[in-house]
Amino acid sequence: MPQLTVRETVIPYTVKKSSRARHIRITVGPGSVVVSAPGFLNQREVISFVEKKGEWIFRKFSALQQVLSANPDRALVDGEELL
């Protein structure tokens, strides 16, 4: 599993290739980051994109971890927004 290191924080992510995808999409969830990429992109291009967006991924991942630690009994539901 590839990893991204930002501000001394290691964030593991999974790459999913899709023949139908036209753009790279990054989904940050509780404890996971999934990168969906078009099948025609090579691994180096996907890694380069993830590193370029590293600061954004770090901010979203950190914000989600703070929300989850502040409300441990609460689960995220589809459609819910993080403030």
Is residue 63 left, alpha or beta, with left meaning phi > 0 and alpha meaning psi from -120 to 50?
alpha
Decide if 77 is inside a domain. Answer: no
Number of domains in the chain: 1
pTM, entire model: 0.77
Decide if 38 is inside a domain. Answer: yes
Amino acid letter, residue 78: D
Decide if 81 is inside a domain. Answer: no
Q: pLDDT higher for 34 or 79?
A: 34
pLDDT tens string 17-53: 999 999 999 999 887 899 999 999 999 999 999 999 9
In angstroms, the first-to-last Cα distance of the chain is 30
Q: Domain of 24?
A: 3-70
